[in-house]
């Protein structure tokens, strides 16, 4: 252990090494993804929103400092979770974005500073924002055509939601027909929720009838809205606040506040606490005022949402990954509790990381029963001196399981002994080591099992990742089924999933005869597997489980290489760091050397290629989607921006290029088509001249793209 090293999870972002940042992003991605599933799909979160958002904030801060480490499965690229197949799908014409977060006054000031910087506004230009309570419910969108409600849906993963039209029509505060002068097409978005009084009355009825008692209003509202029988939803006292819009054929106002007032005139209930603020001080005063009223509102809120009022500025600001730049949620503080830590258990992940988990005496925190808490890593345990038998303070602060904040030392048993972190893998007995980063010489904060090819824990976790929602998403093949099938020898590799039906037909021990299965469930499972024999390229790349390659990076790679054959050939060629393939890979904006090295190492491993070949005999990767604007003068071209841009920020220019179908690279190579050079352009400009790449200035760029 490095002397005086702080726990990685507690370590300030600006103190993280490159290797530490990569590992921390991996931990955050896994924990947030699991929590998303519990919140959006199961309606059973184990953490408070404030604590959940703390993780997302840390993830964003690390990505800002190390943009080349951004993972393909980065939480900053995800919104919610995929819709359940029990409901029909609704593809949102305008994505339903989530929100970035602010946790203190400085974060709010920083939000305004980012807006000012991105738009290039002078220091004396006022940025007017709206402030409104953040309702703790379930987001929904309502599509009206000629004023009549036609479709209602959940957020889902932000792109595709669940069709719950019949259920939404049972809510009295959602009009079937809009009033007044309404655009031909308009999607109204808002939050479905349940008041405290209605929740208590519902639980009283449930108790009197000897039925299930519900945990909290948010989960109850979400569960009520996602009933397959709309009559069940109709029996629940649900309400709706409108606060936004999606697709709309004509905007009746040019400000956020004006739009919300118009939405109210169409027949929707809007939150009466919404107000317009002309400075950071006014925004913070609005936050304090709403927080003071929180306990008397009669419904749950978990913060205050600020939105830039001018719609033309919102349009220019656009979005970053899963969230708009023009809005932020200022969250309320997290909740804590005290309980007994009974034991410390070591879990082995798919990358071999040994993660310590605190097994707790169950305790209720914010209405949710908690029995596990993360201890993050070896250094975290040592720094806090956490031991079995300790009384600890826990906080639901964004982990899929809560975190241990501190030990109550005065309650420590006299026979207590320090926890000794294992140096061998508990799953396979292989050595567990902390790697030394080749560039910095610093010891990795995570201890990893070295038995990658023989470790059953890693194999099972990799299979779980392969079938997960953002990978192959095979309905009916979840974590429990993967564990059982692996233990029985039915599925040992990804290819085995797709040969399961054929092997089962030849086997004397049929899957339908296994406890918990039957002919119908087995038939459905085989159908789900067959439905994934054709798979989107980015999903396949993500499913491979390459270290540091999350969902976002997988999408970048898919867009950059187009087909799996091209991707594979390029990654093999990139093993030569002097090659054009390596330069092209590391030049992809969002893929740095650490990520590139991990991908190259994956394709250098013969065992991986053998497993991959077997898989490709069973599945057909689809080619990546082509740029939507084929007629754009830069569609399909690789563009590099260098130097200072004066009429827009670098990020705004990059997003403009990507919207027009261009690929934006961070470095100049022989495959670069265009370099946009501003004042101060240096080595990239020289390289462009060396390769004979076309160079234009910012005015030339704006003229080119119109």
DSSP symbols for 313-325: HHHHH-EETTEET
Count of all residues that appear for the chain in the document: 706
What is the DSSP annotation of 81-135? -PPPTTS-EEE-SS-----EEE-SHHHHHHHHHHHHHHHT--TTS---EEEEEEE
| Cα 294 to Cα 266, 299, 364, distances in angstroms | 28, 8, 21
- Nearest CA among 300, 308, 318 for reference residue 259: 308
Burial class (CB within 10 angstroms; exposed 0-12, middle 13-18, buried 19+) of 264? middle
The single residue of 11, 134, 239, 464 carrying the catalytic annotation is 134
Characterize the bridge pairing of strands 354-365 and 368-374: antiparallel
Burial class (CB in 10 A: 0-12, 13-18, 19+), 663: buried
H, E, C per residue of 494-556: HHHHHHHHHHHHHCCCCHHHCCCCCHHHHHHHHHHHHCCCEECHHHHHHHCCCCCCCHHHHHH
Nearest to 352 by CA among 282, 444, 484, 468: 444
Residue 644: other Cβ atoms inside 10 A: 12
SS3 assignment, position 14? helix
With contact defined as beta carbons under 8 Å apart, do 404 and 384 qualify?
yes
- Could you tell me which residues are beta bridge partners of residue 639? 664, 674
Q: Is 637 a catalytic residue?
A: no
Q: Where on the phi/psi map is residue 662: left (φ > 0), alpha (ψ -120 to 50), or beta?
A: beta
* H helix runs in 161-268, sequence order: 165-168, 196-208, 217-225, 230-234, 256-265
Count CB atoms within 10 A of the CB of residue 274: 22
Give the C-alpha separation, 353 to 489, whole Å: 24
Which residues are designated catalytic? 134
């Amino acid at each position: 252990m490095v002397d005086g090293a702080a726990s990685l999870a507690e370590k300030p972002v600006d103190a993280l090494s490159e290797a530490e940042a990569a590992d921390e992003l991996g931990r955050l991605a896994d924990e947030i993804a699991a929590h998303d599933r519990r919140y959006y799909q199961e309606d059973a979160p184990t953490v408070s929103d404030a604590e959940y958002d703390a993780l997302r904030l840390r993830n964003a801060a690390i990505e800002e400092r190390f943009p080349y480490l951004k993972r393909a499965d980065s939480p900053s690229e995800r919104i919610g979770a995929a819709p359940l197949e029990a409901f029909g799908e609704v593809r949102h014409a305008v994505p339903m974005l989530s929100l970035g977060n602010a946790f203190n006054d400085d974060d709010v000031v920083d939000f305004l500073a980012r807006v000012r910087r991105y738009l290039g506004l002078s220091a004396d230009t006022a940025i007017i924002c709206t402030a409104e309570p953040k309702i703790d419910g379930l987001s929904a969108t309502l599509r009206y055509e000629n004023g009549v409600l036609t479709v209602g849906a959940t957020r889902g993963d932000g792109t595709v939601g669940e069709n719950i039209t019949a259920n939404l029509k049972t809510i009295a505060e959602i009009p079937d027909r809009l009033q007044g002068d309404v655009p031909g097409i308009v999607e109204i978005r808002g939050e479905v929720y349940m008041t405290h009084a209605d929740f208590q009355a519902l639980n009283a009825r449930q108790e009197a009838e000897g039925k299930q008692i519900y945990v909290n209003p948010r989960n109850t509202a979400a569960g009520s809205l996602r009933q397959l029988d709309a009559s069940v939803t109709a029996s629940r006292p649900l309400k709706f606040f409108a606060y936004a819009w999606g697709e709309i054929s004509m905007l009746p106002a040019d400000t956020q506040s004006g739009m919300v007032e118009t939405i109210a005139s169409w027949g929707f209930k809007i939150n009466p606490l919404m107000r317009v603020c002309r400075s950071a001080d006014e925004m913070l005063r609005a936050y304090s005022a709403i927080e003071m009223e929180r306990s008397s509102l009669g419904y749950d809120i978990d913060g205050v949402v600020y939105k830039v009022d001018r719609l033309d500025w919102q349009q220019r600001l656009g979005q970053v990954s899963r969230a708009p730049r023009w809005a932020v949620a200022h969250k309320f503080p997290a909740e804590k509790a005290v309980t007994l830590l009974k034991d410390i258990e070591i879990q082995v992940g798919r990358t071999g990381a040994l993660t310590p988990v605190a097994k707790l005496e169950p305790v209720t925190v914010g209405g949710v029963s908690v029995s596990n808490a993360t201890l993050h890593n070896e250094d975290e345990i040592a720094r806090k001196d956490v031991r079995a038998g300790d009384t600890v303070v826990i906080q639901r602060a964004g982990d899929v399981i809560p975190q241990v904040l501190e030990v109550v030392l005065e309650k420590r048993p006299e026979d207590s002994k320090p926890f000794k972190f294992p140096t061998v893998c508990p799953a396979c007995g292989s050595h567990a080591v902390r790697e030394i980063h080749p560039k910095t010489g610093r010891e990795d904060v995570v201890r990893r099992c070295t038995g990658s090819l023989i470790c059953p824990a890693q194999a099972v976790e990799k299979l779980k990742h392969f079938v997960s929602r953002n990978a192959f998403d095979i309905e009916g093949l979840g974590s429990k089924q993967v564990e059982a099938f692996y233990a029985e020898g039915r599925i040992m590799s990804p290819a085995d999933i797709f040969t399961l039906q054929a092997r089962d037909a030849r086997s004397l021990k049929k899957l339908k005869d296994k406890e918990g299965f039957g002919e119908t469930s087995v038939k459905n499972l085989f159908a789900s597997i067959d439905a994934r024999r054709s798979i989107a390229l980015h999903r396949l790349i993500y499913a491979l489980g390459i270290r540091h390659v999350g969902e976002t990076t997988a999408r970048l790679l898919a867009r950059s290489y187009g087909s799996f054959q091209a991707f594979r050939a390029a990654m093999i060629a990139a093993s030569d760091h002097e090659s054009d393939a390596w330069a092209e890979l590391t030049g992809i904006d969002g893929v740095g050397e650490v990520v590139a090295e991990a991908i190259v190492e994956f394709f250098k491993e013969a065992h991986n290629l053998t497993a991959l070949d077997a898989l490709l005999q069973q599945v057909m990767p689809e080619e990546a989607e082509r740029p939507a604007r084929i007629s754009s003068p830069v569609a399909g071209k690789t563009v590099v921006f260098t130097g200072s841009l004066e009429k827009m920020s670098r990020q705004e220019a990059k997003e403009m290029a990507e919207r027009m179908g261009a690929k934006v690279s961070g470095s100049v190579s022989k495959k670069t088509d265009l370099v946009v050079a501003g004042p101060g352009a240096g080595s990239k400009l020289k390289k462009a001249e060396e390769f004979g790449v076309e160079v234009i200035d910012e005015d030339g760029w704006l003229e080119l793209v119109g």
